[in-house]
Structure 1
């Protein structure tokens, strides 16, 4: 399995650092890696320049306190794992600082607290990072369950036949299986299938196809999807326990409903493009899914896309 080697935790100093920082520390510790804590914040205006140094000192102290609290929650010793705190103020936007940091220092995973909001989905800053950042991204929502009760799910499409998509699907299964092992041990794998002509055939008088023929075509589509999914899981070589959910319908409808209905805490799925996350599923489907999520999201990007960005 391709593991992460260079993890970046990002903070804007404006939200609770608890959940994502715990994930970042635990992942770095488990894989014996150092962690970069990147604190980026806007530069104060001309009228407030006298307060810039005090403002920065406050944010640094807040970050150090968050690190101390997260280590205590994980029962980690001081300086375990090794964390490098990097502070940068930016005249433009935190997003440009974050993307530049990822590119210049070849980070392969960015972990960040999701910007808080009451409704499902992610705010503009997080969505922009998902579209523009060249590495995989972990956006952490608060999780109320204990660590050993956290529920992990993977969303995959086994019917994509090109190697880029297949390698990404395999990586999704491998990473989600590893994460589930750190949590409650069980992985939920969800995959959507549909017979796209079924609604037309049932609703059109021109089609004039007997119900038994329509049912036969639907059954064939389901069986083909099931076989492809089994082959993908077998190729990934992941260990049990896992439970496979074959969801009939559109991914943008079924996956968010599945996440809510099963109480999933962490969803691992794919992101195909640096300029838009919509490439892994058809059209804008992936973005439609993300806009309905209220759980932690781990959006993986294909290795070849990351390498083409210089990572």
Structure 2
């Protein structure tokens, strides 16, 4: 079972973050982990120097009030999950300050409530996307989940066709982590993986190539069978047990995964970000970003081993 030991909850002090804190408390309790609450807020200008201390006190009171509401909702005593509180103010962008704190303290999970979006807008705001791109540890972007823990649905997206060792290992880590998470929710893990015969759109109907329909069908069936075989191997290699359902979705991942997540009312999606190992600050691949831009659920995102953040501690 995958366990987090040193969890960081990050906040910019804007909005009601009780839902995000509830998810952080549950994870800390289930993992018997240390929990740090980091509040980053902009520094007041020097012209407001007489108000600096009152400003800081106000922000700290807001944190304690939010912690108390989350504890009361979950009926978690202070002795059950202790919280270390850190308040930092400065002029750097919030995402950069949060990542620097994580790097200095070696937290193994960053949790943050997703920035609010305007009605009808999906995906994540720029602050959250910076964390997803540049934070080296797993990033959990929390969103409200309006059903009991026993009914929460967890899904994981994996690509079994990865040839690089780091991406193969990432798929195994995704499955193992999602399995552990699903065990604390409704117990069933939805495994999502996409396949397609990418040359079909180029070859079908091309009079110059003129591939017979039977040969086309065989190629499609071979692509489907190959994907099924590779997916079975990666699931077996992960060693996960318990209840899980495998969904082999045909089509491009950035098109079909968001549709599946919305239609099936998935509450938490676990997925990887494509970042080339050892390359400083390499951004996520287009597929990962496109999926994230369409999500409305909570997200837990992992990077391959060897990712190096462009942010320095």
Name the TM-score class by shorter chain.
over 0.9
- Distance (whole Å) between structure 2 residues aligned to residue 2 and residue 277 of structure 1: 26
1:82-231 to structure 2, matched below 5 A, reads 82-117=82-117, 118=119, 119-231=121-233
- Aligned residue number for residue 246 of structure 1: 248
Q: What's the TM-score once normalised by structure 1's chain length? A: 0.93
What does residue range 262-277 of structure 1 map to in structure 2 within 5 Å? 262-273=264-275, 275-277=281-283
Aligned equivalents of 2:74, 2:225: Cα separation in 1: 44
Inter-partner Cα distance in structure 2 for 1:232 and 1:4: 23
Contact 2:13/2:39 (8 A) holds in 1: yes
In structure 2, the partner of 1:297 is 299
After superposition, the CA RMSD in angstroms is: 1.9
1:50 and 1:195 mapped to 2: Cα distance? Answer: 66
1:92, distance to aligned residue in structure 2 (A): 2.2
State the TM-score, normalized to the length of structure 2. 0.93
Q: Distance in 2 between matches of 1:53 and 1:79?
A: 29
Deviations 1:4-47 (A, max 9, x none): 22211001110221222112111111222211110110001233
Aligned residues between the structures: 307
Name which of structure 1's ranges 64-73 and 223-232 shifts more when overlaid on structure 2.
64-73
Q: Distance in 1 between matches of 2:137 and 2:110?
A: 7
Q: For residue 66 of structure 1, what is the aligned residue in structure 2?
A: 66
Could you tell me whether the CA contact under 8 Å between 1:44 and 1:52 is conserved in 2? yes
Give the distance between the partners of 1:41 and 1:137, measured in 2 at CA.
20
Change (3 A) 1:227 1:305: same
Q: Deviations over 1:164-194 (max 9, x none)?
A: 1111101111111111111111111100001
Question: Alpha carbons of 1:85 and 1:239: their partners in 2 closer, same or farther (altered >3 Å)?
Answer: same
Stretches of structure 2 lacking an aligned partner (at least 5 in a row): none
